[in-house]
Structure 1
Amino acid sequence: MPDLTDLPGISQIWTRTKGDPQIKIAILDGAADLERSCFQGANFSQFKPYWSEDIELNEEYYYYLNLYLEFNKQQKDKKDDPDHDKEEAKKEREAFFAPFPPAIRQRIELSSHATHISSTILGQHGTPAPGIAPLCTALNIPISYADDNFISPVNLTHAINTALQWGANIIHIAACHPTQTGVAPDLFARAVKQCQDNNMLIVAPGGNDKGECWCIPSILPGVITVGAIRDDGQPFKFSNYGGEYQNKGVMANGENILGAQPGTEEPTRQKGTSCAAPIVTGISALLMSLQLQRGEQPNAEGVRQAILNSAIPCNPETVEEPERCLLGKLNIPGAYELLTGERLTVEPHPQPLSYKERGVTTAEFTPPFPTGLGQTISATAVATLTVSQTAEAVTPSAKSNLVYALGTLGYDFGTEARRDSFKQPMSGVEIDGTTVPSNPYDARQMVAYLEQNPTEAKSLIWTINQELTPIYAIDPKGAFAADVYEILQIILAGQVQPQDSEEYIERVSFPGRLTNRTVELLSGQIIPVITLPNIRGMYGWKVNSLVDAALQTVSTQQLTTNEIRMRRSLTSFLQRVYYDLQNLGQSSKDRALNFAATNAFQAASSFAEAVARGMELDSIEVEKSPFCRLDSDCWDVKLRFFDPDNGSRAKRVYLFTIDVKDIIPVTLGEVRSWSIAKLSSSHP
């Protein structure tokens, strides 16, 4: 993005406010260089953290800082070269910085990050690095100075509490601690909640892990997650998405963002979600300043909802992966109108009708805002529709197809050349004193080979099979791809174990997203590709193990039942799902059914009572649940039992509800049960 002035609506909002000194922004990052001209005259100070010691900024430090700046300048010039090799440049960069003392390099990099981010928020106009809210007050709270504790939850908690004590209205947290679970340490989560309860808005980058990955604190409830879009409006491939990000995230410009550097007045242009997030923070500060102008108190939740509910969804016809856009793109005019009820004139685009002119009130924008066609028009529509357009012209962001598949794990080579590239380095196997030539199709030999050469796992086409037939190819993506490959190798190793071994794996379950890509196997079969963003939900199990664990669950509930009957009923349930009700795991109904098979523990709690009565499993049904929480996709799994010794006895139905909205299904509530009387022959 050439300049911040190119943000639609920013010039117009600046005619009303450039910030208010009463609005206080805490910037949790490295230590910014407050000596830069863009901060001269700003209400900007720096806190000295008691939990971290700064290094001495002596001649040695500035010597390396100058080398750092000069090298970055040279690399920037190289990027303009069409023959620029990114991988080669990465190697060159690592080689250049290798001699740097680790503490000095860390201090420089954190300071560079903080200086750039702070100037985007607070840079004074008329300087080399102007910002969005130059008249607001800010406090830079270094999370750490020169060590690896920048994303430490303990340090983040200290910094959050400092911002709370200072009385911040907005807390900008630059740290991004990767997480696969979305669960933060209790101490830190409580600190965030306490700030939110005290009317403080928290903004954080979504992270640059290149996939369906999440970060702490951006994954936490109430925190605005910010993703990055390119100058052409496309989401960056590295910008994280998925999970709760889809319900609480907004995209902002994250390419060529101009900002200050430590030790020089020459600004630099950077990219990433860390560069996009301060734009949202700056706009939030302006919106709070407008609230003060209107005689209102700053309202953190009101500003958050205005930003999220006005986000412009990506058009799936022009964006390859619209789910990467989270809720949509930052919409300054829409947020302004939702907050004030007034239009923000933006030229030269034709002006839409205001909310009041359309008969729409801001009350209709409280969460959860509508996402379907034909529903209440959102701020997105108001910001993008002309007078002659209708709400039906708005298309919400598309979602990737979710998959929760059951089967066995396999692998393929794709070509004979790839197969031979495995065969040649593999050693022969000795069986009963006879050496057998290497065979890459022998899973036992492949397991042994991958144990010695784990990186070779990436060269295989991993597949999910049903009855020896591949149904999907697996494509690990994102920051946790290496972990996914490791789990694949562990599962394959478990599948070749003797069936009586505790390590034996009989079935696998994989949650993923169906792509629009296919792959051709060596046999000529073409199968669709699913992506596995992380290891959550990847399980290898055998029926007996699940049954044993489920029986253990029942025993802890002090339920008395016939273990033989219980084992038979559980095994019947699991085998029936796998064989009789076999499916591709794509529809919501099938994903709920497949998850029920891997969640035998809850099923066991329902079996226990029925089996204790001498009943047997009769049928399994899955149907849309009439009761569901907001923004979920709930299905009821019904297990019907009958008495094989008394056909006139009422059947017993046990039901548990599964929400398949997310990539990992979850069960909701307790198991419910009731009896169904057997109908007489006079009934149809």
Structure 2
Amino acid sequence: MAATQTNVTEISELPGLKQLWSETKGNSQICVAILDGPVDQSHPCFDGANLTRVQTTISENATVGRMSSHGTHIASIIFGQHGNNVPGIAPGCRGLIVPVFSDNRSGSLSQLDLARAINQAVEAGAHVINISGGQLAQGTEADPMLAKAVKFCNDSNVLIVAATGNDGCQCLHVPAALPSVLAVGAMNSQGLPFDFSNWGETYQTQGILAPGENILGAASGGGTALKSGTSFATPIVSGIVALLLSVQLQRGEKPDPNAVREAILKSALPCTPEAGSDCRRFLVGSLNIPEAYALISQGGTKELSEEKLEQEMIQPSEATDFNLEASANQLADTGEIVAEVITSELVPETVSNLENTMTVTPSQLATPAVTPSGVVASEDCGCNGGAKSLVYVMGTVSYDFGTEARRDSFKQLMPYVAGEPPFPPNPYVLSQMVDYLEQSSYEAKSLIWTLNLELTPIYAIEPGGAFTEQAYHNLISALKGQIKPEDDPEYVSRVSIPGVLTGKSVRLFSGQVVPVIVPEVRGMYEWNVNQLVSMAVEAAKTATPQTATPQAQANQQAHANQQEEATRASLKEFLNRMYYEFRNLGQTSHERALNFAATNAFQAAQALTEATGKGMQLASIETEKSPICRMDSDCWDVKLKFFDPENDRRAKKIFRFTVDVSDMMPVTIGQMRTWSMSD
């Protein structure tokens, strides 16, 4: 690739790109999701582009703010239509605009919200997910929800392409450092790694360098801008991945993002130690489009170009002097890692400042207060046929006031608490709130009801429709049950709630913004583990065939009594394990199937009764897409695997039942099946 006299990186001059364009400029069946700031889709470069905005907790429209400018620039590098001043790499591909960064929220987001957006992108049909941002992390530490979302992508053969970060240190960013992600660092016009581009250990096996200097892109509000950084190297790689997937599709093959990832890493141009550079900064190597294409199209046998790649590397008219203003030592003093994702941007703001020496600084963590947003509507995603976004989630019920004024109104309206003397009410005391709501149930509508995982709100619950009053009654009942002692017959440990995402979001009192769901009343379920275990054990007993003779029945009863406690313990472990080990957002199909499997404990009880009777214990719980399903259904197999802890040579026992999650209320299909396997 070459740079012009004004030192603008010409995307079209990437070695091998024009030859790739001669075969495809992207297939509309290949979908790339941009998880970034809002995108100005009215920009002329997007005229004719196939872009759809996905509803997220970021409902604002694109502005001229930093995050909108960042998102618009990133999107244009991939989807800019040819024939205008910002030609994109894969203009023919379909794009999902998934806003996650907001100027109203300091340009950062939680890892939980990033996980939510990743799941949304996968469910909407993305093959590639571009994340030009990350959080500086110790090793590969990540929120469990984010780690699960990334694993879900890998299991679904969806590739995440993420920036390594601009901290200029041997350090890592999340999600770029997580397994199966393709990490992207930035190189300058001479083909050398930028000083600010991170080079942590994990990147040595899953990181690639791509051009990241003076990348031309669309500016929010119109016009163009030049920007540098790992943020802008990342969409270059995402665009190439999309083109290679289009090649696979064009040749009659099934698109395989993981195979494309391996081809890009395998074909990377390695560092040459004789050049005197620190080869760790090169990661696996530099982007090599011709060889990656060869590996994808002809198994590495086809020669795309007779030219030597070394001669095609970037040769600028003059080098730009970059000064790094923050060192790794300075970064080490930032203290505890905060759960935020910061865009990896280095900004030369306009083309007019090209002649000046550019000073590049790492991204700074902005700390202004979060601006209230209230409950607002967002656009519907049309990429998956306008299907409703279903959830089936487990957690605990809580409530929030949203504002100080709303909280104080409850203080004013709630009655004094009986005592000597009576004392003022405290709306944060659950028992007082429950008593008040039972007397004044209409007040339930004045609260923001939330569904929490541990202490973290993940959804706001907004009942609607004909059964609104019943839904609020159920929420009050669940809240009342949660504050009872664990040995109380009416104790509620958690709830299961099916519902649909509304496309709205609400700002909580803490400033956190969560999406809103409308619950399905007939599927709302209160968990009382003790009662659930008793009911499930009784159901398993009923399913056990009775023998004919009195003596045989007595023996059977004695055996059943001996086994019952073991079954109870195993089922309690199963239910707690499903909740604590497999905590999830209940958003994807396999998460809904898993959560329903926990709620429908009767089938699990049958498996546990049989397995524990043979001295076996639960080893793993897995979900996989069912190979056979009813028409217009979404079927998943839930598999429980058991092992003998005292005999590792004994065959494992598998129990499988199928769940259809195509409706808001999941249902089981057919009978539970069981078989043995050696491993």
TM-score scaled by length of structure 1: 0.44
TM-score scaled by length of structure 2: 0.44
Q: Indicate the structure whose relative CO is greater, using CA pairs within 8 Å and at least 6 residues apart.
A: 2
